[in-house]
Amino acid sequence: MIAEPKPELVDRPSRADTWAVFGIAAIVAIAHVLTNGRYGFHRDELQVLSDARHLDWGFVPYPPLTPFVERIALSLFGLSLVGLRLFSVIAQAILVVVTGLMARELGGGRFAQVAAALAVALSTLPLFEGTEFQYTTFDNLWWVLIAYFVIRLLKSENPRWWLAIGATIGVGFLTKYTMGFYLAGIMGGVLLTRARRYLGSGWFWGGMALGFVICLPNLVWQVRHGFISLHFLQHIHARDVGEGRANRFWRDQFWICTNLVAAPLWIAGLLGYLWDRRYRLLAWMYLIPLALFVVGKGRGYYLGGAYPMLMAMGAVLGARWVASLSRFPRLALEAVFFAGVVGWGLFMGAMILPVASSGKLMKFALENNGDLREEIGWDELVKTVAGIRDSLPPEERDSVGIAVRNYGEQGAIEILGAAYHLPPPISGVNSSWLRGYPTPLPTTLIVMGQSRKEADRLFTACRWAGHNGNSLGVKNEESEDHPDIFVCGPPRLPWPEFWKEYKGFG
């Protein structure tokens, strides 16, 4: 028989203990603020900044919330890397705090709250999401908030929580369409558990209606644009599957979505939810999206937002078990766990965070982190294009356009090129294609992002004009896949026909 833990060792919830969770969130946030200005913009960030200058109720690759948030950041901070990434840092800090709050609501005290919050704060995906502003950053936060609201609902049995759940689902659909998979988990869990009683509640239907109203403007935008985002997602999914990006799905649940050392926590949390009749809904909120992503060959990180709720329950169960041990085994186990979680977090942090701007740490990060490599060279690219523009004869310089072939180049020319008075980029990728080609039509084009063969196929009288690289010699998409820059004449086809062919997803 297992002895009952001593009363003074039982990990009881206390509001005062939650301050330790805030401390963990603050430390991680400060680490991001101190390092987020080290390199440059990521190509995905450049796309978001471009869309932020053309606000609408929808964009081809994602819903409108992230560009809207970055429009606010642009207004507040200009082109400051630290400032523009601040909302992502705040989102991750909130995510850590809410994880601790979930542990508290499930009955965990200081140990459980700290264990859950620390395990999530030092997981690979949350660490990464604080380094850039992308829609995945905010999407993960909404998943965690919904889980917290569901716990409050099931604990209090107050159906008014459905309003908060529905509203957050609506905001989630304005952030990333994978919210649909989480919604499937929520609805499936309601039907499969005793939470089905809420189907007769007006608060449930009111919450769902509220969520629909919140995301309705984006739905209208999609209808008006022929559900272009669906075509985009089909294209991207086929590309990802073809390139094998979904092949490591199971490994990524341990390596990317969570802290590897904390795997026993989330596994125990899943089993705990399955065992507990009151909270079983949350198990289905994980298992149903998991099954859908496995069958649909989703990317490994898509499920990242579901793990904090598992960590919270696992930490509570773990704290109860640890409290039943005698003093020395308990202290040894706690020391091993926290040292392992922190050690793994520091290892992944050195790989993910731009900790150093030179030396061995920078080399280690760039060798192991493709996303950091994609932050290198954009300023040099823009400066090179400006130099090519300035070298043109006056008659060509007066009517020059810049044709790009990917959204990183588009964002770099549009956002960073303003300092060199470069014209807006001509891009057929994603939402920029919807904005059309410029008038008056340029007669000379600086062409980038494609091979000489492709440039000759699309444009007239092309000549090599420059090389796209970076002074650090970092190998990334820009320097390796399409390093050459050309000066060409107008397209071979009339502009309206050329524009139809120039359309692309990326």
**pLDDT of the chain, 506 residues: tens digit per residue:** 334 444 444 566 666 778 999 999 999 999 999 999 999 999 999 999 999 999 999 999 999 999 999 999 999 999 999 999 999 999 999 999 999 999 999 999 999 999 999 999 999 999 999 999 999 999 999 999 999 999 999 999 999 999 999 999 999 999 999 999 999 999 999 999 999 999 999 999 999 999 999 999 999 999 999 999 999 999 999 999 999 988 999 999 999 999 999 999 999 999 999 999 999 999 999 999 999 999 999 999 999 999 999 999 999 999 999 999 999 999 999 999 999 999 999 999 999 999 888 899 999 999 999 999 999 999 999 999 999 999 999 999 999 999 999 999 999 999 999 999 999 999 999 999 999 999 999 999 999 999 999 999 999 999 999 998 898 889 998 888 889 999 999 999 999 999 999 999 98
Tokens read off for 341:
């979680």
Q: Could you give the CA distance from residue 328 to residue 206 in angstroms, rounded to a whole number?
A: 53
Which pLDDT score, from 0 to 100, does residue 7 have?
Answer: 44
Beta bridge partners of 484: 467
Helix axes 179-192, 280-296, angle to 10 degrees: 130
pTM over 0.85: yes
HSE toward the beta carbon, residue 269, CA cutoff 13 A: 30
pLDDT at 482: 86
pLDDT at 11: 60
Write the DSSP string, 311-348.
Answer: HHHHHHHHHHHHHTS-HHHHHHHHHHHHHHHHHHHHHH
d(CA 106, CA 339): 25
Which residue is listed with tokens 């569901």?
150
Structure tokens at 124: 């690979």
Q: Integer distance in angstroms from the first to the last C-alpha of the chain?
A: 60
Q: Would you list the DSSP string of 91-105?
A: HHHHHHHHHHHHHHH
Distances (CA, A) of 161 to 134, 197, 224, 281: 28, 14, 33, 15
DSSP letter string, 435-455: T---SSPPSEEEEESS-HHHH
Supply the DSSP string of 184-220, one letter for each residue.
HHHHHHHHHSGGGGGGG-HHHHHHHHHHHHHHHHHHH
d(CA 71, CA 84) in angstroms, rounded, equals 9
- The alpha carbon of 310 is separated from its chain's Cα centroid by a whole number of angstroms, namely 20
List the structure tokens of 405: 């072939």
Integer CA distances (angstroms), 98 to 44, 147, 193, in order? 27, 9, 24
Residue 460: how many other CB atoms lie within 10 Å = 12
Report helix, strand or coil for 40.
coil
> 100: closest CA among 120, 80, 83, 84?
120
List Cβ neighbours of 164 (8 Å cut-off, separation of 6 or more): 149, 207
pLDDT of residue 2: 36
Question: What does the radius of gyration of the chain's CA atoms come to, in whole angstroms?
Answer: 25
pLDDT attached to residue 9:
46
Burial class of residue 171 in the structure, from the number of CB atoms within 10 Å of its CB (0-12 exposed, 13-18 middle, 19+ buried)? buried
* Residue 376, φ and ψ in degrees, nearest 5: -100, 130
Distance CA 228, CA 57 (A): 13
Q: What dihedral angle (degrees, nearest 10) is formed by the CA atoms of 427, 433, 435, 441? A: 50
Contacts 24+ apart (CB under 8 A), 332-339: 334/111, 337/115, 337/261, 338/115, 338/118
Question: DSSP code of 495?
Answer: H
Is the CB of residue 171 less than 8 Å from the CB of residue 214? Answer: yes
**Is 254 in a helix, a strand, or coil?**
helix
